[in-house]
Structure 1
Amino acid sequence: MIEWTHWHTEPLLVGSILAVAWAYSLVIGPYRSSEHSFPKRQSIYFALGIISFYLTVGSPLDALGENFLFSAHMVQHNALMYICPPLLLLGLPAWLIDGPFSRKAWLQSIFKFLVHPLIAGLSFTLVFSLWHIPFLYEWALHDKAVHIIEHLTMLFVSLQVWWCIVSPSQQFPALRYGGQIVFVFLLMVGQTPLFAFLTFSSDVFYPTYAYAPRVVDLSPIQDQVLGGVVMKLANMFVSLAIMSVAFYKWAQESEKRSG
């Protein structure tokens, strides 16, 4: 039976998170150029991003989703998609990105390619779809190294997508508001087959959950359907929120230009 009080404290996980936080603190603190003020607001966002990442992969939610409930695993994946990435990106001052990249043309080219909306959208859709193919999903559940790779690739492609929406950079800016609306809508369309695959099937795709002890009053197929619904609702809520904000700002921008 799952231990609800268990938190992951493996040296690799905790050490990696602390190393990232420490490096960020040095860059915005003692190593910051005197021409830049201390980014207080951004540092709060980044701290929240680091904390949310640990809560996502280090809390009992991880064991619950890895061993017992598909729906819990989908909650975890949603957090990796929709909570951690925007917080981490909002925590980056523009000078932290634009400064280093302005000195290396080859870095600019690579980064510009990675955050191009087409590449970001295709990467996001492909990675999340592939990891839910049953044999890859089961492999990740039973091999810790593969599970880590799964979560890191999900986080990476989510950062690519969110860059197109909340980029702090002037050199690699976010899409304009109209572009954001189209981009997010196409992402919704791209993920629809995965939601349908999980929600409307009468078969349980993942043996781990089919044979797991029932920790809640849900059958394996009900749990799988719930997981698909959780993914779809989270996607719809976040997407509609982004499109609504983008449309509002777009309208304000147009009004200022016409006035």
Structure 2
Amino acid sequence: MSQIGGFFDLWNPVLLLIVVVIGYSYGRFVVKGMVRVAKSEPISISQQLLFYAGLILFYIGQGSPINYIGHHYLFSMHMLQQTILYLIVPILIWLGTPAWLVRSCMKNRVFRGLFSFFTRPLIALFMFNMLFSIYHMPFIMDYLMKNDVPLLAYHTMLLVTAFIMWFPVFCPLPELNRLNDLKKMAYIFGNGVLLTPACALIIFADSIIYDMYNNVTVPFAHLSPLDDQQLGGVIMKILQEIIYGATLAYIFFRWYRRERKDEDELDPIPSQDSLNNQGGNWNRA
């Protein structure tokens, strides 16, 4: 492989069209209230920005040269792609999704039953990490990379389970929010532990474990296949730690602000008028 693919290989116009349609539908039918849902709360500007950022990053990860180069040349680019798609995009999309939109989907009994079951924390936690670890088994990954249809199916499963995995942390529905903030922090820690073996296998391997990246001629990089493989594991692990650390900080400070607010409501600071009245009462006494 000595030549980079053409425009349609590097920039997926079909996926770009799909992303644009989703973004337009979100802005037209959700943000502007074209979908009439009882007791629907307005969507803030920050929510909109997060949702659109998630869509943009999804296209960057799946439809830009990152996808093509990661598939054909650099394992490190493939790991960067997976970090974007499975550890960043679902967070942004969930943060930008209003509760009433998810609640309207729950009106379907079959969907509600399946969704409620698979988003149980332990099921969601192990389902994604199990599929992610299996994917990085050398014989599995080599087979998938040579067969487009199974690869697309497996990547779709990974993306769906990634959204399911993040749902217990960024749940927009109070009635389905099964974890308090302390349990959410433990949940994130557990995710980090379960994801570590796959990264360690790649980082500390002393030989090429994926045949598809062996003897690849990269026209724009000066990395040996082994260095590229180890770099991929390092990228995944470092970015995972950053993302999980930022998530832990987000949960902690949200919990802290809520605790302070509750304390202020239970023990409000007396107003100046009440202090003056108390002072007058003391003087008269």
The whole-number CA distance in structure 2 between the counterparts of 1:17 and 1:146 is: 22
Instruction: State the distance in 1 between where 2:190 and 2:41 align.
Output: 38
Aligned residue for 2:63? 58
> 1:17 — aligned with what?
19
Q: Deviations over 1:126-147 (max 9, x none)?
A: 1110111112212222222223
Aligned partner (choices 77, 89, 107) of residue 111 of structure 2? 107
Larger radius of gyration: 2
Q: CA deviation at 1:189?
A: 0.9
> Which runs of no fewer than 5 residues in structure 2 stay unpaired?
268-285
How many Å apart are 1:174 and its aligned residue? 6.3
Superposed displacement of residue 112, structure 1 = 1.2
1:134 pairs with 2:163: no
Residues 1-259 of structure 1 mapped to structure 2, 5 A cutoff = 1-3=3-5, 7-9=10-12, 11=14, 13-25=15-27, 27-28=29-30, 29-33=33-37, 36=40, 38-41=42-45, 42-101=47-106, 103-173=107-177, 175-214=179-218, 215-258=220-263
CA distance in 2, matches of 1:43, 1:222: 40
Tell me, what secondary structure is at the counterpart of 2:197? helix
Q: Count residues in correspondence.
A: 257
Structure 1, unaligned stretches of length 5 or more? none
- Per the TM alignment, residue 45 of structure 1 is displaced from its structure 2 partner at its CA by 2.4
Other structure's SS at 1:201 match: coil
TM-score by length of 1: 0.89
SS at match of 2:84: helix
Distance 1:196 1:86, change over 3 A: same
| SS of residue matched to 2:11 | coil
Contact 2:119 2:168 in 1 (8 A): yes
For residues 59-118 of structure 1, the C-alpha deviation after alignment (integer angstroms, 9 at most, x for no partner) is: 1111110011100000000001222111111221111111331x3444322211121110
- How far apart in 2 are the matches of 1:85 and 1:245? 16
Please tell me the residue identity of whatever aligns with 2:185.
I
Q: Deviations over 1:34-53 (max 9, x none)?
A: 75365253333222222211
Q: Is the 8 A contact 2:71 2:145 kept in 1?
A: yes
Partner AA of 2:116 in structure 1: K
Distance 1:91 1:257, change over 3 A: closer
How far apart in 2 are the matches of 1:255 and 1:31? 36
Q: State the percentage of identical aligned residues.
A: 28
Distance in 2 between the 1:127 and 1:166 partners?
Answer: 21
* Equivalent position SS for 2:10: coil
Contact map agreement 1:66 1:73 (CA 8 A) in 2: yes
Q: Are the aligned partners of 1:98 and 1:171 in contact in 2 as well (CA < 8 Å)?
A: no
Do the aligned residues in 1 keep the contact of 2:124 with 2:164 (CA within 8 Å)?
A: yes
Q: One-letter code of the match for 2:89? A: C
| Rounded Cα–Cα distance in structure 2 between residues aligned with 1:25 and 1:131 | 35
Q: Deviation at 1:17?
A: 3.2
Amino acid at match of 2:131: V
Distance (whole Å) between structure 1 residues aligned to residue 62 and residue 85 of structure 2: 9
Tell me, what secondary structure is at the counterpart of 1:164? coil
Distance change >3 Å, CA 30–CA 255, structure 1 → 2: closer
What is the distance in 2 between the residues matched to 1:99 and 1:240?
Answer: 32
Q: Could you tell me how far apart the structure 2 residues matched to 1:246 and 1:111 are? A: 23
Residue by residue over 1:139-169, the C-alpha shift from the partner in whole angstroms, topping out at 9 and shown as x without a partner, is 2222222232232222111111221111222
Relative to the length of structure 2, the TM-score reads 0.81
Check the 8 A contact 2:86/2:162 in 1, yes or no: yes
Distance 2:217 2:171 in 1: 43
